[in-house]
Structure 1
Amino acid sequence: MYCATMDPEAQRAALEALIAEQGANLSELSRLLGRNLAYLQQYLVRGTPRLLAEADRSLLARYFGVPEARLGGPEPEGMVEVARLDVGASAGPGGLVDSEARRRPDQFSPALLRELGVRAEAASVIRVKGDSMAPTLADGDRILVDRDRRRVEGRGGVFVIRLDGELMVKRLRVSVGGIEVVSDNPEWDDRVVPARAVEIVGRVAWLGRAV
């Protein structure tokens, strides 16, 4: 079924912008949709099909982590905006802090935020890069970071931190001598650092993943 609230040219421009922003590959996206590898190239270059099918639009919006309305879907009702940062919280070697920049905000259900105990004003969405937190977090996952929760207590948890000038996502535990910085992937080494060396940005409260 084809349905959109924006004209075909604007929909193509919106998709092109998302692809450019996130460095996506047209063939891989076409495969994600279950289409032939040239499907999205034909859509963008030749205008065939004229509009994205609703199912394709929905899947692409989930993949890019944006509201469907950005690709011509209906505007969500009763949603709240959560800031999205144009930086990957590295689950690998680390992401440079100076690459942070705000992008168009994500939309979240107020009910979901209440269930998670997260205030929209204290939340940020960041995309994970790297595999050091696999299988808990995979490359490309979107994570919701609660900036109100910056203390490591009890059994610890998964946090976005700045360490050695880099932004990264790691599991933190209180340890003798400081904070234990843990990678869930056993191929990566853990380490203990002084508590003062770690700036905790916030705790990971939710993750989103394309399937």
Structure 2
Amino acid sequence: MDASWVYVGYENEYNMEYEVLIPFEVNGRRIAQGRDGIGRGNSAITSKNKYPEATMRWLDTWFSPDGMRLLRFGVEGEDWRWRDDGKWEVILAEGETTAQKMSYTSAQPGGQLSWWSDHPVLREWWRKQYSDVKDNYDEMVERLLPYYYIPYPQVTIMEETTRELAEYRTALNTYVNDMMTKFITGEASIEAEWDNYVQQIHQLGVKRLLEIYQEAFDALVD
């Protein structure tokens, strides 16, 4: 079972008002869903682009510490600044909140941010953010780390397989979600319908679906 912490408004993203709960034990194991720390975002280079190599270098910039800082908090000296105590802070106009500031300086609120949040340089930079509210983020992370588990990494599916995968996922998701609702509400009996349920998901291609994901995983680790 997964456990996480509660964000109380966008302003309190790093100043939580509640402590994290240790995951409940299920079948003798405690699990907190982990992640690889990389937000891939979405980009496309069209056939009309005359400089695809330069565009790729530009996109790659956003995964560098400087690029990630720019995407997240804007320009140093204009949108955020270093303090004399070695901390950094967001530059706010009078009466402005951090959330309001980030609505026009960050790509995240209105777009899909590509970044490596666990990059060592960026992680150290985060720890130097100034706040007049007690920050217990690191303490919460330390409590969850022993239970982190990444069940399946983010993989890249080849273009020729994407359409096939979409067909299987659409059919399976529709059927599984429908049956899950029926099992929960009691409209269908798990004991009486389970064998038929398993037979149906196999007919809908669950074996091939798993093969596609296994092939993508094998390509990643190789």
How does the TM-score come out when normalised to structure 2? 0.22
Which is higher, the Rg of structure 1 or of structure 2? 2
Higher helix share: 2
Higher strand share: 1
How does the TM-score come out when normalised to structure 1? 0.23
Structure having greater relative contact order (Cα 8 Å, sep ≥ 6): 2
